[in-house]
Amino acid sequence: MLEIQRQPVLSTEHICMYFGGLHAVEDINLEIHQGDIYGIIGPNGAGKTTLFNSCTGFNLPTKGKVFLCGEDITNLKPEQIAKKGMARTFQNIKLFKYMSVLDNIKIGFHLNLKSNLIDTVFHTKQFNADEAYAIEKGKEILDLVGLSKYTETKAGNLPYGVQRKVEIARALAINPKILLLDEPAAGMNPNETKELSDYILKINALGYTIGVIEHDMKFVMNTCNRIIVLNFGQQICEGTPDVIKTNQNVREAYFGKGLVAGEAINVAAEN
């Protein structure tokens, strides 16, 4: 019988990233499928951000290939990869704090707009058309993700957790095929982390495929449907949260010997 293969949205084939003698990422084969909320976890220095950077064009991988919906994007630059539909956020919030939430979202559209510097300076027809488009679509996004009450608020005046949400909303402006989030819950209190989890589940329910690096185990276990665990650059486990919780290699990576994996994950989730 013919077997129908689902093509991953984002995949890597034997991806390696070396910094001199340091093998930061070693032979990782990643597959993130349509509709996934895919967690990338591992102890500090495991290679998670380096793997993200290799997928998004910020690092040219030493070996291996990266595919977006089957297209080889290994050698493309970050802005070319973004144009093809890969959006990402960074560990530190990168909002313009003195601008309104809507103006921050509008910036996310710059890849889709046609205006150049001359259009902007002289407010040409093209500029006005782009501006109207960015305002309309920006408001649409804020409405979809439930942030419209902050439309005119200065980003810097928002609580930290809401700033994170705005940053994620801005990444939706390129209508991404996949959204990669680097430690979105970093620095959040438990309430903010729970709200962020609900927010990401909501965005996923809108049809967005998501990859997320995160240290907060409770967040990861409650939010992601699949997880890859890295340690010293290598993949030590991949699967559903239940598989990860019971894996001995994961236990040893996080806690050394002595705890069974499920207990180890529970301890991490409680802390």
Ligand X SMILES: Nc1ncnc2c1ncn2[C@@H]1O[C@H](COP(=O)(O)OP(=O)(O)OP(=O)(O)O)[C@@H](O)[C@H]1O
Confirm or reject binding of residue 88 to ligand X (CB under 6 A): no
Comparison of 45 and 262: residue with beta carbon closer to ligand X: 45
- Draw the binding track, 3-42, toward ligand X (x: CB under 6 A; -: no contact): ----------------x--x-x-----------------x
Confirm or reject binding of residue 61 to ligand X (CB under 6 A): no
Which of 39, 47, 85, 108 touches ligand X (CB under 6 A)?
Answer: 47
Shortest Å, Cβ 57 to ligand X: 14
Which of 48, 137, 165, 251 touches ligand X (CB under 6 A)?
Answer: 48
What lies within 8 Å, CB to CB, of 51 at 6+ separation is 12, 15, 17, 25, 28, 30, 40, 230
Q: How many CB atoms lie within 10 A of CB 121?
A: 9
Which of 9, 15, 32, 46 touches ligand X (CB under 6 A)?
Answer: 46
Cβ(24)–Cβ(18) below 8 Å: yes
Question: CA 187, 197, 101: angle at the middle one, nearest 5?
Answer: 70
Confirm or reject binding of residue 45 to ligand X (CB under 6 A): yes
In Å, how far are 37, 87, 265 from 167, measured between CA atoms?
18, 11, 29
- 116 alpha-carbon distance from chain centroid: 29
**Gap between the Cα atoms of 136 and 107, Å rounded:** 13
Comparison of 50 and 115: residue with beta carbon closer to ligand X: 50
Q: Which residues in this chain contact ligand X in the complex, by CB under 6 A?
A: 19, 22, 24, 42, 44-50
